[in-house]
Chain A
Amino acid sequence: MFMGFMRHFLNTYVYNKNQKNVQKNKKFFSRLLCENIEFIKREFGDTADLSIKYLKIKDISSALITIGGMVNKDTLTHSVMKPIIEKQDEIQGTTGQEKYKYIRDNIIVSPDQLQVSNFDDAFNMLMSGFALLAIDGCDCMLCLGVQGFSFRSISEPSTEIMQRGSREGFVEPLMINMTLIRRRLKTTDLRFDLTQIGGVSKTSVCLCYLNSKVSKDILKKVKQKLSGVNLESIMESGYIIPYLEDQGDFSLFSSVGMTERPDTVCGKISEGRIAILIDGTPNVLIVPYLFIEYFQHLDDYSMHTYFATFTRWLKYLAFVLSVLLPGLYVGISTFNPEILPGPILTKIALAVGTTPFSLMFETILIHLIYEIMREAGLRIPRPLGHAVSIVGALVIGETAVSSGLIGAPTLMVVALTAISSYVIPNLYEPISILKFVFIITGGLLGIWGIMIVFTLVLVNICSKNSYGVPFTSPISPFNIFAMRDVLVRSGWSFLAKKNIRVQDLPGSEVKDRNINKNI
């Protein structure tokens, strides 16, 4: 399986794409084994994991080159070494080249074989867990698929828990992730386009889409943007997000989605989106990604429509609360207390009167403490996590209030804000920044300032485009048909009536969209 992937990779990327330009710069193998081995050793230096096992095949020197820890030794022994040694008397041919051909076609039982003729390709394969068989007198090497590195098993992603549905999540090896998608979409329309980015890491990146659904215009743009990634190494999908966003378009909200669930990816690519799988990370990127998608969860589609609609509205409310509540609390209590009902105003006034800090400072302080605790909870070893929770609950929950440093209403507002922000975890980053902005604005300019900043943020969101599709579509530009999955989650009978592709949404500037008046 892995071999097939590598062959495809080499054919599509290494051979076809680069053949014209890069071939000149590539260093090809020599016919002398010692020269080739010398070059490999020189390139790798004194690295401890490079393993070179010399073999004698009917008086001709040969070598089996591997990277330690990346190959399965049992497979290597049984599929490669044992047949060569046991059947070396049967090997025909006099020259190294002839022997190489005989071994390749008749001796080695491994089904995953690929021939390489230059060092670049050989190194690529070697570092992907292949074994290289080099024979003296032959100017090519045989790559043998004997990978055996260990990886995390497939499990439910902790960041995207679902009540119902699959418990499978993406893992680190790219090939496994591709299989997880293929298993769910058994159609020949599904395409995986492989490429490689990162000057040093040479990370494999795979574009996944449905050929009949995807916009060729968007696909071209994605490929262009990926080719513009000039990083040395890509360790995580987050590294390339800035390259996939529109340049010079500052916004707190990203127009590149991220998921760890194969079922989510399948749903997204069915609507014409493109998934970007990156080797070594379970986080798959999705483009184009619209603002409304932050509030859509796969669970919505397995629940009853009325409950899914209810949870959808809860998410909208939670977003508004998490962004605006602390700012409004500070702004209204400081500048427009007359808006508040009497009993609430009395409670706040009492709390503010007994605490030493201003309401704005107090709210910022607790939010900062909360963010520090959250960060600590994320980074410290799990056994200590409980200790952080206890300290946090005691220090903030009990001591701060009872000692009169912090007012109880402020603490409640912060707690409500924090809980609300967990409802839409994908939006945590913008929410955490925006709430501070609104607290400061509320504290300095009151409800007036908050409304101005709110409209400012609204304009910022509205100005964004995700690959030519308005970020705020289908709310603005408005599309009544697409609203079936925005304000309400309609039943499947209605949702299945028409599959709206992302490029067909109103306001889209994508060239090859289907201009349909109903959409």
Chain B
Amino acid sequence: MSAPRVVITGLGVVAPGGVGTKAFWHLITAGRTATRPITAFDAAAFRSRIAAEVDFEAAQAELSHRERRRLDRAAQFALVATREAIADGGLEPDRFDPTRVGVSLGTAVGATCNLESEYLALSDTGREWVLDHRYASPHLYDYFMPGSMAAEIAAECNAQGPVTVVSAGCTSGLDAVGHAADLIREGAADVMVTGGTDAPISPITVACFDAIRATSPSNDDAAHALRPFDRTRNGFVLGEGAATLLLETEEHARARGARIYAEIAGFASRSNAYHMTGLRPDGAEMAAAITAALAESRRSPQSIDYVNAHGTATKQNDRHETAALKRALGPHAYRTPVSSIKSMIGHSLGAIGSIEIAACTLALDQGVVPPTANLREPDPELDLDYVPLHAREQRLDTVLSVGSGFGGFQSAIVLTRLGTGPA
């Protein structure tokens, strides 16, 4: 028996620049940026004082008081994105077997906002090492153990199959979707609610990236701070958000008459076994992940019509990634549009991989390649077609999305228009 095809039938996005899939797609195809000075807290003491924040109040108002009280911002994002994906996919509660529905949710830093704010209450703003438990939120354990976020989504969707959080740093969002596809293929579930979420714009996370100078110090020009593949690039801008995808077997989708956006044809992850934060310039392991994902999807490198890049605009990432694409795709790399939507919505750590898959899904569906914003001065070292500034209309059948994260994780996922590849 051959493994079932895994298809995407629903999308939900919470991203900087506007909550909801429509607003997200409009922003990234217009080439507008959502990076700005941090408003979440007073960032005056930090090196990088900019971020791509989600204007969440309106969407948050749709949550119940209890949900707002109980859930960390990241879990709230995931819940809002999931509700949109379920509605978009038309998955009605009485139309599926809950034991055949699972959840795979990516997050890199979990409930870091609430962990930090709770810490301040418990420690009297850091003054006490032995914390006073009487000031703890009754939900503190849920913030501490981010599996709780997947549990929240499972409760929302009545999922009673396999439920997990995937936390592989900045590839979490991509790996969670790949994991969900794996579970469907091996028969553990017919439907997976999957995606990623992170809300890392808090002092401790900003300080972490300050310490290693990974984030952009272009504080005076926030809108143009994240410049992937540009000669003047100087790091990423922290973002936040979530995306949820509804995955199911093609058979399940057809049986309920669902609209099918695309197929998830292949996925692979690799470690570079090199450095927790550093990348070797040759891109060998990312290339290995791409090659393995292509093999699983039974596609050739020449079939790739578009690459959604990791594109964080750190010096070494963009070099590493360009080398990896050349290594995996050969001369075809030069003919393939490659773009980084992080230029517009920032780097939301464990969420971005799934937001990028949502972008790839829409790119396939709409026949539009989103651009790399802020790419005005090409880096002579980086010689691929990075789709600067403006979106392109182009029929797409097969797209590749890649991710790279602290810990040395390298991941690749291949999406196709259904019915365009080998049987």
A and B interact physically: no
**Which residues of A line the B interface, CB within 8 A?**
none
